[in-house]
Structure 1
Amino acid sequence: MTIRYDALAPAQLGPIDLRNRIIKAATFEGMTPGALVSDALIEYHRAVSAGGVGMSTVAYLAVAPEGRTEDGQIWMRPEALPGLQRLTDAIHAEGAAASAQIGHAGAVGNQALTGYRALSPSVLVNPLSLKMVKAASRADIERIRLAHGAAARMAADVGFDAIEIHFGHNYFTSSFLSPLLNRRRDEYGGTLVNRARVARQTAETVRAAVGSRCAVLAKVNMDDGVMGGLHIDEAIQTIKWLEEDGSLDAVELTVGSSLINPMYLFRGDAPIREWGEAMSPLVRTGLKLFGGVFLKAYPFHELFLLDQARMVRAEVGLPLVLLGGITNLGAMNLAMDEGFDFVAMARALLREPDLINRIQHDSQTPSLCTHCNKCMATIYSGTRCVITTPAAT
């Protein structure tokens, strides 16, 4: 087999150089009390950076206070910047690049926790908070677009090498792309051209804010995994438009809806009991009754997004980041051979932050991650592998 790229060799992503093609994917860390950087968050990213990844992605940095999923998440503001500077310094000291995932949670925002009214393209009920979600006005859309630019500029100022814009999982921008969630009749609804308007304008705003100082990526859904949602054909067209606009250096391909079908991304066991224990009594009762519907289990297999991603690769020239079931060098090499430029990993690095160094030492090194997904329920107490690591403090 002829490999297009060597996953472990240095690579260029837009204006930045990476020591390899392996990216630590964004996974909410749950280590930001007061919506500020903690020593635990710095150590979390320092460890995975020392463990050999080319770039570590910090998640999730909201562009506005109502754009958080819960009140402990960082939102980009002056008070957060000194801690973020310490964080990027720690990542750089270990030889990795630092990426900031920015975005707005939209309807996924739990207003029972944040205290702010959640926003979506159209009125709906958040199934977790059981609160009504307000339809965003044109003024809201414009404010959030400009907030992405301000957040990107702040991230660049404190040393982030890349900005990843969250256009997936039915967060704010993703919900506009969804025919199911977007029932608007104005210039932001109806046709795909209109539904993609928020994504395209936001990407242009972020690029204008950082220029060539940072690489700019977008995390984009290929498939919401929801009947009536965004699916592959419209996703490909949206990505082609983003490519034509020239605002992005790469796209990371993802799937799923944090609002309706989160396990479509997290293949493997559905941690219904563990998730219920971490939630309020009301939500816990709801999960007992309907958890098998909301947290539907999908079987794990290696490279589980490859078939859909191949369809994007065939139509798009932009560098693409392949996510999903990449846990060993064989999977990385296959991704490179299939024409993908970078790979992203999450759960395997949560179990073993030094996995990439171990793979470099022994190419046959397997991952110890069992895909039990019990880590999902730890996001409120410090994201961790419950099999091997103690609770964060």
Structure 2
Amino acid sequence: MLNEAVAEFPEHQPRPVDAPLPLAGIRIVDFSHFIAGPFATTILADMGAEVLKIEAPGRGDDLRRYPPMDAMLAHGAPFLWTNRNKKSIALDMKSPRGIEIAKELIAQSDVVVENFSTGVMTRFGLDYESCRKLKSDIIYCSVSAYGREGAFSDRLGFDPIAQVESGFVSMNGYADREGVRALSPVMDISTAMMASNAILGALLARQRTGIGQAVEVALFDNAVLMAGYATLQVLFSGRNPERNGNTSPDTCPSGVFAARDCSFYINCGNDKIFQRLMSQVIERPDLAAAEIYASGPLRVARREEIFSILGEAFAKQPWSFWQTRMRAAGVPHGQLRTVAEAIRSPEARERRLVTRIPHEKAGWVPNINLPIRYSVTPLADPIAAPAVGQHTEHVLTDVLGYDAARLAELAKAGAFGEGQSETPKAEADR
């Protein structure tokens, strides 16, 4: 499948050689898995931080097995998306020697990130207070489900659970059926963004004060935030949001319409946009000036008749006709696309959102770039997600100064997994 797409996406353009990286010199020990923790550290890795991903020998992060799997990569597409620019170290955290190595790495690092169930890091002797003794100014980020303390700290949390319990699902879908979850892991992704922001804030505070700190971001807390301003609307009105499908309860006309050849969305967020839509796009200045449509609440009350007028007009011409007019009139609009269409769209190509990057075994893999553009400190050139333990020997030699004898002794003691007689390496390195 990828071979068929080789001509569709450009190669990544390397950053200027002499440009500094935003987080150059920052080292992160990352114990996280799945999405919320790993995507947070991917953001920081893209900014130039050295991220040491600690994984279980052999098995690694469970996200590696999420489909579709690729035999050449030995992991699936979701893992590739979530773990670029990282170094994988295979450590057996059930082994005292594995814990010993983890502690040595933390002592040489700036940030620890973990999203284990509550209590796991304490059992490892790697909780915040223990890590402070290893590095007094360490920044320790815990990504939890419901917080590390309190009545719900033992609960496990996944994205769809956060979606339903936060009220997010109740807001989405159509009024005549139950609410629907977002298929994209929006709570994991937004929690990752919040965690990376929190870590950046802690790094800046440490630069100013010299003091590290514990940072916590809970999936549930973030999910409530993702309900948006609906939370305050409920408190002010006493009414829960109603499911409106593709229309908006606050603005009109906003929703899906059909041109002669495809469907599209328009969003009239204020009176002026509505007036431009009516007068310049469908050439009905009489409706633009009509008192019965003069404000948002008045238009919401007459949504059905407005949608009927627009639907009849839009059906007469193809999308290209309406798109040109709406762009000229300044009416926010967008064609309904599949994911496949979106990543191949003119907008995505213009922004170089999807590129090809080298891979030791596969030749190349696709990469989805972050939406961050720095003028002075461009993001790091993307390096494909690593194989389990691909960098164990390199990191322990380079960061901790281990020699071959020390590595062999640790391997024999089980630090790199049961039955390992040597330091784990990626298959491509053998």
- TM-score, structure 1 as length reference: 0.28
What's the TM-score once normalised by structure 2's chain length? 0.27
- Is the radius of gyration larger for structure 1 or structure 2? 2
